[in-house]
Amino acid sequence: MEKIKVSAVQFAFKPISSFEEFASNVENLVNQAKGSDFVIFPEAFTMELQYFVEINQIHEFEDKYIDLFKQLSEKTGQYIVAGSHTVKRNEKFYNIGHVFYPNGQIFKHKKTHLMPAEVKMGFTHGTEFKIFEIDGVKFALGICYEMEFPEVARTYALKGVEVIFTPSYTLGEHGFWRVRHSCQARALENQIFVIHSCLVGTPPIDFMAGWGRTSILSPCEPPWTPNGVIAEVSSAFKECVITGELDLKLLRKKRKRGVATTLKDRRPEIYDF
């Protein structure tokens, strides 16, 4: 696999009255990504279900969530990064990212770095940096706050990851820019692609509005754009889908002979901790 086409969803909260209504909208967004190899949704976008259930009941829709995306992935032949969903295991709650394969396989990643607000809500930290491989290309999930820690992306890069999918839900503009700047820094530091998918709009409960501008990011290196943005949503609140191409052959070339070969120019022998 030398080139892949990715579509990133900017998902906006909207009033719904049933899971079926939620599923219909999800399918419509996937249809807008026709022709892409990967489709990515934001972190915690199933919180939209709060329009007709309590927040502590969202985990009860796990089976329907799994069935929905398994069917969509099998139907379209696409790999779908279905954001993240609240899952309950042994009386503990986790924020788990899911990747659905067309063959029915499911990759799962428990968010390892939780915001203080998530901890207060009762979520439990994940403890593993898991990667998945497709046709010789290694991918990983860096869920929102995880990308604010350089060690996360660096660990992935040392394991051979070339693309990090970042489902995100940030409350307010400050939160968005923390994650966005972090994503761009991680792309630069590790010479990787980062796909940042945002949940936006006002939720049905008393939270700050989700703020975001979904983007597909590359290193800041010719022939990519000077600012390292392959594609980007212009509005912070509208629901839409953006698409871009990731040239992995070019990425590997730049890692060896680019202007700034940051992946291999590290000097761990002089870093004193």
pLDDT digits (tens, 9 = 90+) for 65-113: 999 999 999 999 999 999 999 999 999 999 999 999 999 999 999 999 9
**CATH superfamily placement of domain 3-256:** Carbon-nitrogen hydrolase (3.60.110.10)
With a cut of 90, say whether residue 218 has pLDDT above it. yes
- Specify whether the CB–CB gap between 193 and 218 falls below 8 A: yes
- Side chain identity at 220, as an amino acid letter? C
More confident residue, 205 or 31: 31
Q: To the nearest whole percent, how much of the chain has pLDDT over 70?
A: 99
pLDDT mean across residues, the chain: 95
- Tokens 């968010």: give the residue: 111
Catalytic positions: 43, 111, 144
pLDDT of the residue at 209: 84
pLDDT of the residue at 105: 97
15 prior amide bond cis, ω within 30: no
With a cut of 90, say whether residue 203 has pLDDT above it. no
Per-domain residue ranges of the chain: 3-256
pLDDT of the residue at 206: 65
Longest dimension (CA), the chain: 58
- Specify whether the CB–CB gap between 43 and 199 falls below 8 A: yes
